[in-house]
Amino acid sequence: MSHAKLISLTAMGILLALASVSPAPPDRSYVSGDSMMTLDGKNVGFVKSVEGGAITAEVINEPAGPSYFTKKHIGQPRYEDFTVQVGFSMSKTLYEWIAGSWTNKIERRNGSFIAADQNLQAQSERKFFNAMITETTIPAMDSSSKEPGYITVKLAPETIRVEKAGGKVSGEFGKIEQKVFLPASFRLQIDGLDCTKVSYIDSFTVKRTVVTDDIGDARDYAKDPGKLVFPNIKVTLAESTAQSWLAWHESFVVQGKNDEMAEKSGVLTLLSPNQQTVLARINFFNMGIFSIGADKTEANADQIRRVTAELYVERMEFEAGGEGAEPGSTGTTTPPATTKPAVRRG
């Protein structure tokens, strides 16, 4: 064997030996995949998005003292709210929680968001405890929209913990039929009003205030529910079908006939793209009109003349159809909230 070949074989042996004892590579980054939501230990489905949930503490300065430098330390931990976007393919447990948050039924729940990679391997888990729903935002209804719509929910937890997770994300969510909501697929019905040409309803948010009990020596502050606030709704419709709206406005606002007997009830129905399946209903109670006016028009513009009406609502109820609904709650049956059904199919 030549001297050069012997040196080459020796060098190769040294490299192989070094490779066998080299330290393991650090954990690799992973591409963001999906976030699974759990409630009370059960998977309720993949969310469209989740943000928030940071754990922070306020920096406190202590200028007093003989030191030339300002002494600093941190206060008690603060837990940021979660903001979650969900569709209509979640477990009924989540929708029941939303429905309860629109009433005096205050529910606190424990749960988590499990971050998984594209292979559904769990990577991390953000657990939350004693959380309340403080906001529910219904997306805008738009007859021209072709993009899916999602409900946005804000959760206020008392505490949060972040942990390493492992295993494959799985659960009952696999049994839930996938239902997509398009904001063009909706039906609005209001007592005695022509809603056949409603083209747009602004997004609206139901809110509950939260009171923080920060008295005492507890490290984590308790959160208590405050008042429930239902928003006004803004409806845009063709001027050609606005006569009943204008008449109500004339009576209710101008003539002052606006007692409780003059208020109305209604329902907003969210439908599947084929407009055959009810995904959710939002019932309106004690509605009153306080504004109506023509939208901006331009000369020689080829457009439908529209008016926009604004109504207050004293109370709302949320009902979800689909996987967890009671028999008869899906389909296109007319709910009892209205006396003169007027159908608008987006």
DSSP for 248-310, please give it. Answer: HHIIIIIS---SGGG-EEEEEEEE-TTS-SEEEEEEEEEEEEEEEEEPP--TT-----EEEEE
Please report, as a single letter, which amino acid is at residue 172.
E
At 284, the amino acid letter reads F
Alpha carbon separation from 213 to 57, 77, 104, 222 (Å, rounded): 17, 14, 20, 5
d(CA 48, CA 38): 14
Q: Which long-range CB contacts under 8 A does 212-215 form with residues at least 24 apart?
A: none
Task: From 142, 146, 161, 195, select the one nearest 53 (Cα to Cα).
Answer: 161
Q: Which helix (H) or strand (E) holds 330?
A: none
Rounded CA-CA distance 109/339 in Å is 38
C-alpha to C-alpha distances, 315 to 38, 201, 206, 264, 288, nearest whole angstrom: 29, 17, 10, 11, 12
Closest residue by Cα to residue 239 from 307, 152, 332 = 307
Identify any residues that bridge with 234 across adjacent strands, giving them in sequence order. Answer: 310
pLDDT of residue 302: 60
SS3 13: helix
Q: Is 152 exposed, middle or buried (0-12, 13-18, 19+ CB in 10 A)?
A: middle
Q: What is the pLDDT of residue 216?
A: 52
Q: The tokens of 82 are what?
A: 């979660």
Q: What's the CA gap between 298 and 247, in Å, rounded?
A: 26
pLDDT computed for residue 125 by the predictor: 93
Q: Which residue is associated with the tokens 């959380």?
A: 131
The H or E element that residue 253 is part of is none
> Whose structure tokens read 């928030």?
52
**pLDDT score recorded for residue 2:** 56
Structure tokens at 175: 């049994």
Q: Which residues contact 224 (CB under 8 A, 6 or more apart)?
A: 210, 211, 212, 213
What is the dihedral angle through the alpha carbons of 120, 122, 124, 125, rounded to the nearest 10 degrees? Answer: 100
End-to-end CA separation in angstroms for the chain: 85
User: Which residues on neighbouring strands pair with residue 121, listed in sequence order?
Assistant: 168
pLDDT, position 327? 32
Secondary structure element (H or E) that encloses residue 4, with its range: helix 3-21
User: Hunting for tokens 């696999």 — which residue is that?
Assistant: 174
Contacts of 139 (CB under 8 A, 6+ apart): 149, 150, 151, 152, 183, 203
Each residue's pLDDT expressed in tens, for the chain with a length of 346 residues: 555 555 555 555 555 554 454 444 445 544 455 899 999 989 999 999 999 999 998 898 887 667 777 888 888 888 999 999 999 989 999 999 999 999 988 899 999 999 988 888 888 999 999 999 999 999 999 999 999 999 999 999 999 999 988 888 875 544 455 688 999 999 999 999 999 999 999 999 999 987 776 655 555 566 777 789 999 999 999 999 999 999 999 999 999 999 999 999 999 999 999 888 999 999 999 999 999 999 776 655 667 889 999 999 999 999 987 443 333 333 333 343 443 333 343 3
Q: What CA–CA distance (Å, rounded) separates 252 from 231?
A: 19
Checking phi first, is residue 142 left (phi over 0); if not, alpha (psi -120 to 50) or beta? beta
Q: How far apart are CA 248 and CA 290, in angstroms?
A: 10
Residue 110, SS3 per DSSP? strand
